Amino acid sequence: MSLNEIASLHPFFQLAPLVVFLPVLGLLINLLVGKRLGEKGIGAVASLATGGAFAVAVLLAVGLAQVSEGGTLTLANWINLGDLDVNWSFRIDTLSVLMMLVVSGVGTLIHIYSIGYMHSDVRHNEDPGRFRRFFVYLNLFIAFMMVLVSSDNFLMLFVGWEGVGLCSYLLIGFWFEKGADGIGNARAAKKAFVVNRIGDFGLLIALFLLFYNFGTLNFTEIFAQAPAVAAAAPGAIMAITLFMLLGVTGKSAQLPLYVWLPDAMAGPTPVSALIHAATMVTAGVYLVARSQALYFEVPAAQNAVMWVGALTALFAATIAVGQYDIKKVLAYSTISQLGFMVAAVGMGATVAGMFHLTTHAFFKALLFLGAGSVILGVEHGHAHAHAGEHGHDSFDPQDMREMGGLRKRMPLTFIVYLIGALALAGIAPLAGFFSKDEILAAANEKSIGVYVLLTAAAFLTAFYMGRQLLMVFFGKPRSGASEKAAESPLLVTLPLVILALLSVFGGALNLPGSHLLETWLEHSLAETAPGQFVLTVALISIGIALLGLLLAWLVYGRKPIFEKGQPDPLRRPLNGLFKALENKWWVDEFYHTVIVRPYQSIAKFSAGAVDQGVIDGVVNGMGSLVQSGAKAWRRYQNGYVRSYALTIVFGVVLVITYLVLR
């Protein structure tokens, strides 16, 4: 549809491209004149750009409330090559606008938070000049994320998909010269990039197969043809959906490609909140939800998605129990919760998955930002406790063993963190309870195995969140830094409060009685069923959440812990098992031995024997061949004019011979 046509549907719809162009405008301003704006100006420009995108998304939502079918707005023809015809066009429907709202809404809050956070972070890392770069990257990320969620074809989605991957790489490696051995952060960024590449390869193959089987990459056309193609070539749809699943496991950090996300915590905390918890990692969930029509055709692929999600949910939750880094715990929790969402979209409960995606964006962003606030406070305390001393190398402001008792020193942070943790644990009536419960109810109906896995994961979720709360905020301060910790500035805490409110009331989006989100999304999704509310499931869910919290208090809350380097109280009862948790089941080591090491030796072989031996040998051989040939021929270039003339006459005689014999 052109601009005029879409405007005739609803005047607000023609604003859709602004969700991409406003962040781009913001980043251009910061890129070009940011140096003169100062930190406040840079932050304001970036936040306004994202906030503007949010406002546009709200207007689109208003428009959709009246014209619920939405529409597509074609900006330009991108590729027109034989059968391949791809447009730059924006799809305005309830699903994409929901994603826009989440991305730009949470994004705006995180932008505001970042102004305060990066102010001290760049000083802590002694390079204030990077403040501007951070916001440029952040706006670039929002722009790409908007491209991803607003596209109306798979290729444009792929552009956004790769773009957010790039931003993720840039932001994980934001302090690329820091980290272990000075390259730890760069390594983490590289790992994220490479692991994502594996997933993107899967998505790319899926795109090729889509185009091969459907002859188009447009969402509407593909989904309309899906049943016919599935009847003609069921294997093709199976392959497409499974390769897409590979892409999802990469981007949304599912088994077996989740390993990059914990390392991605090397990025600044707002990045962890925005990209690695709330938005980018949910792109995989969005992709499955969007391609729902394809997945409905192959139940086997649906089952694969469901089981991958459920296994990831439990697996990551176990690892989270054994971590000491405040952000690592949240990272594994994110993987686990993404597992919930993937399982939900896998089992066809798309609305539940999107619901959980939304609420999770609220409370996980809140938790990460809260953790960032804690880190800021501890860093502040460290600076005060050790004023005049040199070097803070051995001190890790993210180690929960060094914290404790922060409840009194950072009361506001504590309250919002508590809200986030309870929402994540699934305590009624906070947001997480409703969304998680809807997934559990769907699982209960679909497969008892998945239900058990997810419930176990929910129990562990409550346990590790309780453990974290107790380790960070309760007890007595276990280091000078946490003793001197101070509350963060208003710019940091204000977004926390807003997110906390969203975490409390986010459940209202899809209350069991009203099904607001479900009626909203049914315009975009092929088949939706009203989320079930099963009382027993809900009771069990609350019960195990409380049980988990209680167990956490029993282990970590009753007596002082980590005094004088004392090990984790869980270590003695669990012994070897806890060691496995602490070491993340040695998955990284396993990958290193099974994949990375052989790969490197293959690479070494290729570089040494193949490249330097064979290929360079061929090239050098050509060179010496030419050289020796030239050496032989140069005898004829003897400098005597008469010799040359002889050669010419010889040629003339040859030509005449030809003419005579012809």
Binding site for another protein (CB under 8 A): 633-643, 645-646, 649-650, 652-653, 656-657, 659-660
For residue 637, the minimal CB distance to another protein (Å) is 3
Comparing CB distances to another protein, the nearer of 80 and 657 is: 657
Pick 448 or 625: Cβ nearer another protein: 625
The least CB distance from residue 616 to another protein, in Å, is: 28
Contact status, residue 333 vs residue 321, Cβ threshold 8 Å = no
As measured in angstroms, the least distance from the Cβ of 624 to another protein is: 18
Name the DSSP letter for residue 529. Answer: -
* Residue nearer to another protein on the CB measure, 212 or 650: 650
**Minimum distance between the CB of residue 628 and another protein, rounded to whole angstroms?**
14
What's the min distance (Å) between Cβ of 250 and another protein? 60
Q: Is 574 helix (H, G, I), strand (E, B) or coil?
A: helix
Min CB(626)–another protein separation in Å: 14
Considering beta carbons, is residue 76 or 641 the nearer one to another protein?
A: 641
Token look-up 């296994």 returns 311
Q: How far is the CB of 645 from another protein (least distance, A)?
A: 5
Of residues 36 and 634, the one with the C-beta less far from another protein: 634
Task: Report d(CA 299, CA 243) in Å as an integer.
Answer: 15
132 CB-near residues (< 8 Å, 6+ apart): 30, 34, 35, 42
Q: How far is the CB of 622 from another protein (least distance, A)?
A: 20
Between 601 and 637, whose beta carbon lies closer to another protein?
Answer: 637
DSSP letter at 487 equals: P
Exposure of 294 in the CB half-sphere (CA atoms within 13 A)? 30
How far apart are CB 40 and another protein at their closest, in Å? 58
Q: What H or E segment, with its residue span, contains residue 587?
A: helix 587-591
How crowded is residue 184: how many other Cβ atoms within 10 Å of its Cβ? 16
Gap between the Cα atoms of 355 and 223, Å rounded? 23
DSSP symbols for 340-399: HHHHHHHTT-HHHHHHHHHHHHHHHHHHHHHHHHHHHHHHHHHHHHTTT----SS--TTB
List alpha helices for 216-325, DSSP H. Answer: 219-232, 234-251, 260-263, 269-273, 283-290, 292-297, 299-321
By the 8 A CB rule, do 136 and 31 touch? yes
Do 90 and 137 touch, CB atoms closer than 8 A?
A: no
Shortest distance (Å) from residue 649 CB to another protein: 5
Minimum distance from residue 642 beta carbon to another protein (Å): 6
Smaller CB distance to another protein: residue 231 or 656?
A: 656
Buried b (16+ CB within 10 A) or exposed e, 624-643: eeeeeeeeeeeeeeeeeeee
Q: Between 575 and 637, whose beta carbon lies closer to another protein?
A: 637
Residue with Cβ nearer another protein (36 or 642):
642
| Cβ closest to another protein, residue 387 vs residue 632 | 632
Ramachandran bin of 64, using left for φ above 0, alpha for ψ from -120 to 50, beta for the remaining angles = alpha
Any idea which residue has 């890790």 for tokens? 396
Three-state SS string over 245-271 comes to HHHHHHHCCCCCCCCHHHHHHHCCHHH
CB of 627 to another protein, least distance (A): 13
Residue 148 half-sphere exposure toward CB, CA atoms < 13 A: 28
Comparison of 566 and 637: residue with beta carbon closer to another protein: 637
- What secondary structure letter does DSSP report for 484? S
Could you tell me how many residues make up the chain? 662
Nearer to another protein, 76 or 660 (CB): 660
Nearer to another protein, 564 or 633 (CB): 633
Minimum distance from residue 595 beta carbon to another protein (Å):
56
Distance from the Cα of residue 270 to its chain's centroid: 13
Helix %, strand %, coil % of the chain (to 5): 80, 5, 20
CB nearer another protein, residue 566 or residue 627 = 627
Measured CA to CA, the distance from residue 160 to residue 141 in angstroms comes to: 9
Q: How far apart are CA 130 and CA 246, in angstroms?
A: 35
Q: d(Cα 27, Cα 135) in Å, to the nearest integer?
A: 7
- The least CB distance from residue 144 to another protein, in Å, is 58
Contacts of 444 (CB under 8 A, 6+ apart): 451, 534, 537
